Every structure is written in structure tokens, then in C-alpha cells.
């Protein structure tokens, strides 16, 4: 690794750790002082500020296109999953809560912030954990909150959207929440994509990387019909996300 990339890695990692360490006590103090009806707004503003600052530190620029859903309604945001940066991109754009793999809670720095932001953790190898997660998603949606899900279940390389898991769509049907499809694509020269390495190795690589771009294309909300089956809703959402990924690829590399 060149001296420049090594210095960039040290500076970004320290900056990210310092940012989170500085902002977290502020967030906890604000939520402790806020009235119950104000805490959701306090969380949304804190998470948005933390995500924006984190993306800036790591040199990730977001190019966004498409209609943003109306605030104050329950939305299930579903997207393909290509990087840990996806979480920052989508939380900044949509707010709400994100559903994430259970081991994220133990990751250095990120895990602390994720727990504070109300992340819903799921162990996909545990059927009971999956059932609890579906109930938690449904409760959030019924409260007219936004929930962000990566229905592929984990990160994958490339632009092919893998089959979606059905659980979150069961929750959407039960609550009557709209489903918002999102397609993400990182520039071909980007090193932000997660490639199956450990989190410390991923953080080190991304921290040393050149600035990168990610396109986020948002589709029109899918209005849930009580007569729909969860498998039909799942497959419709997967097809729309795949189309939006193609749009995002053109936007980030050829647009």
C-alpha cells in the first residue's frame, strides 16, 4: 500500500471513530431530554447527520434519482445490498430503522451506533429470530414508521439482484404499508463494495480507497393490496429493484 493510501486509511478510520464517539453522547443526551413524542424526530435528525458525515469522511458521493415517499406514512424500503455503505446511504435518504444481520451489533464503532439508532437485528440462521423480526417490522410499519430491509439477506457482487426473502413482505401486507423499491450501483472503479471479508478488513480497505460514487434510484411506491400474496409482492418488488439497479448502473457509469 502506498504511503498516501496508508495515511488516508489512518485519517479516515480515526475520523470515523472520533465522529461516532463525539456524536453518540450528544444523541443519548438529546433523546433523554426529549419528550416521548419528539424522540423519533431527534433520532431521525441525529442518524441523518451521522450518516452524512460518515459518507463524507469515506469519500462516498451519492447520486440520487427518483421520487421520495411522502413523510408520515409507513414505508417498507427494499434494496439490493452491495456494501456496508448502503446502510448509510439509505438511512440518510429515508430515515427510520434498518434491519441488519445480528453480528453487526458486535462490530467495532458501527455496532454501538447501530444499537443506539434502533437497528432491528436478525439472525437469519435462527427461525425464531426471523419470526421476531417480522413482528418487529410489522409493529414499526403499523406505527407509520419507515423500515429499511435488504431482502437478499446478505451482500453480493455485481448487479444481478438475487431472490428476495419473503418475511418483510408478510409484515407489509399485514400492516398495509407501501413498499418502496430502491436500486443501488457503485461505480465500476469503486472499492466500497463488500467482498466477503471481515469487517475490520473491509473498513481498512474502504478507508484507504479513492473517493467513490454510488447511484441510488428510487421507484414509485408499490401500493399493497390485501388480496396480494406475500410471494407475489416479494417477486414484484424484486423485479422493480432489478430494473432500478440497471438505471442506477447507467446513472453512475454512463449517465
Per-residue pLDDT reduced to its tens digit, 24-81: 888 888 888 888 888 888 888 889 999 999 999 999 999 999 999 887 778 999 999 9
Assigned fold of 3-254: Glycerol-3-phosphate (1)-acyltransferase (3.40.1130)
Smallest Cα–Cα separation from 20: which of 30, 28, 32? 28
State residue 107's pLDDT score: 73
Check residue 124 and give its pLDDT.
Answer: 66
In this prediction, residue 127 carries a pLDDT of 66
Whether the Cβ atoms of residue 214 and residue 190 lie closer than 8 Å to each other: yes
Question: What pLDDT sits at residue 99?
Answer: 87
- pLDDT tens per residue, range 139-195: 889 888 899 999 998 888 889 999 999 989 999 999 989 999 999 999 988 877 766
Backbone torsions φ then ψ of 124, nearest 5 degrees: -70, -10
Q: Determine which of 16-20, 154-158, 243-247 has the lowest per-residue pLDDT on average.
A: 154-158
Domain residue extents for the chain: 3-254
Confidence band of 10 (pLDDT split at 50, 70, 90):
very high
Asked if pLDDT for residue 255 goes beyond 60, the answer is no
Which residues, at least 6 apart from 164, have a Cβ–Cβ distance to it below 8 Å? 78, 151, 152, 234, 235, 237, 238
Distance between CA 255 and CA 233 in Å, rounded? 30
Q: How many whole angstroms separate alpha carbon 48 and alpha carbon 188?
A: 27
Amino acid at each position: 500500500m502506498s504511503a498516501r493510501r496508508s495515511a488516508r486509511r489512518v485519517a479516515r478510520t480515526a475520523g470515523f471513530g472520533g465522529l461516532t464517539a463525539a456524536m453518540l453522547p450528544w444523541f443519548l443526551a438529546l433523546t433523554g431530554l426529549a419528550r416521548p413524542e419528539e424522540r423519533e424526530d431527534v433520532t431521525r435528525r441525529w442518524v441523518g447527520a451521522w450518516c452524512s458525515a460518515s459518507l463524507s469522511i469515506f469519500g462516498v458521493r451519492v447520486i440520487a434519482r427518483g421520487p421520495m415517499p411522502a413523510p408520515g406514512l409507513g414505508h417498507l424500503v427494499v434494496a439490493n445490498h452491495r456494501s456496508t455503505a448502503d446502510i448509510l446511504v439509505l438511512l440518510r435518504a429515508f430515515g427510520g430503522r434498518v434491519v441488519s444481520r445480528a453480528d453487526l451489533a458486535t462490530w467495532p464503532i458501527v455496532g454501538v451506533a447501530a444499537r443506539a439508532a434502533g437497528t432491528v437485528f436478525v439472525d437469519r440462521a435462527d427461525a425464531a429470530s426471523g419470526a421476531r423480526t417480522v413482528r418487529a417490522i410489522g409493529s414499526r410499519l403499523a406505527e407509520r414508521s419507515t423500515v429499511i430491509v435488504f431482502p437478499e439477506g446478505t451482500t453480493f457482487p455485481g448487479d444481478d439482484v438475487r431472490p428476495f426473502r419473503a418475511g418483510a413482505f408478510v409484515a407489509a401486507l399485514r400492516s398495509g404499508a407501501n413498499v418502496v423499491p430502491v436500486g443501488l450501483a457503485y461505480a465500476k472503479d469503486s472499492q466500497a463494495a463488500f467482498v466477503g471479508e471481515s469487517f475490520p478488513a473491509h473498513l481498512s480497505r474502504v478507508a484507504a480507497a479513492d473517493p467513490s460514487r454510488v447511484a441510488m434510484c428510487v421507484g414509485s411506491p408499490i401500493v399493497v393490496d390485501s388480496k396480494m400474496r406475500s410471494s407475489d409482492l416479494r417477486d414484484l418488488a424484486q423485479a422493480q429493484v432489478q430494473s432500478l439497479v440497471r438505471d442506477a448502473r447507467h446513472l453512475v457509469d454512463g449517465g
